[in-house]
Amino acid sequence: MIKAITFDLWDTVIQDDSDEPKRVAQGLRSKKAERRHLVWHALNSIEPIDAAAVTLAYDVADAAFNHVWHDQHVTWTVAERLQIILKGLDRLLPSELCSQLVTDHEEMEIRIAPDPIDGAAAALDALAAQYPLAVVSDAIVSPGRCLREWLELHDLKRYFSGFAFSDEVGHSKPHRDMFAAAASQMGVEINELLHIGDRDHNDIKGPHALGMKAILFTAARDQDRDITSADAICGHHRDLPEAVASVAGGA
């Protein structure tokens, strides 16, 4: 029996990179370019350094992050990633400057925020009337504190009674601890959860391995549609309550 529902955020509730056109309109760099520029500017303010070297070090750290995230189910914090970049460049920064770099990275998607996916609020409102809901989300750059702020900004936080963010839990999806944290907060067992997300590896196969049901959400990202083992596929939030009812009825 399904007693509670967990939601991924990125490309399930949040339209990933919908903030990029806003940045362009304001004459700003892309997030990727701005992150690298921030590190270069901080280092260059202490001692001149080649921007290309900083970009390379950042790219290497990102590649290592992605490997650890996917294979070891851990998301390094921004502070940890910056230390890896600095070590690769054999450079140091004063603690105050490091702290400001971390903040500038973490809050980038709050200062210029991405948008909710169309229909998300109405779907959450309908489902929250039937089930307790929780967020189960990896914190790739924006940490849990900023993702909570984003939910508040769009009046969506009130729908959730549990929050499991990878920077706070210590593991990322599909690690059991992420779903266990959400289940504990809602007072249910893991196998009584239904998870909704856009990635087959993290959001479908992971929950299935824990005895959960899972729905693949494809409105923003549909790359996994043809390979998924999801209990249902949903392409728009307006159809999500019906998809949940269908899976719950067959549970």
Domain boundaries, the chain: 4-17+115-250, 20-111
Query: Per DSSP, what are the bridge partners of residue 5?
Result: 133, 194
Q: What is the pLDDT of residues 177-215, one digit of tens each?
A: 999 999 999 999 999 999 999 999 999 999 999 999 999
Residue 212 CB contacts under 8 Å (≥ 6 apart), including other chains:
179, 190, 191, 193, 194, 195
Percent of the chain predicted with pLDDT > 70:
100
Q: What is the pLDDT of residues 117-144, one digit of tens each?
A: 999 999 999 999 999 999 999 999 999 9
Answer yes or no: are the C-beta atoms of 213 and 5 closer than 8 Å. Answer: no
pLDDT for 250: 74
CATH superfamily, domain 4-17+115-250, is HAD superfamily/HAD-like (3.40.50.1000)
Burial-class residue 100 by CB neighbours within 10 Å (0-12, 13-18, 19+).
middle
Ramachandran region of residue 94, left (φ > 0), alpha (ψ -120 to 50) or beta?
Answer: beta
Q: How far is CA 22 from CA 29, 31, 114, 115, 219, in A?
A: 10, 11, 9, 10, 21
Helix or strand or coil: residue 47?
coil
Show the low-confidence residues of the chain (pLDDT under 50): none
Helix or strand or coil: residue 65?
helix
**Nearest to 88, CA basis, from 67, 42, 57, 52:** 57
Query: Per DSSP, what are the bridge partners of residue 217?
Result: 234
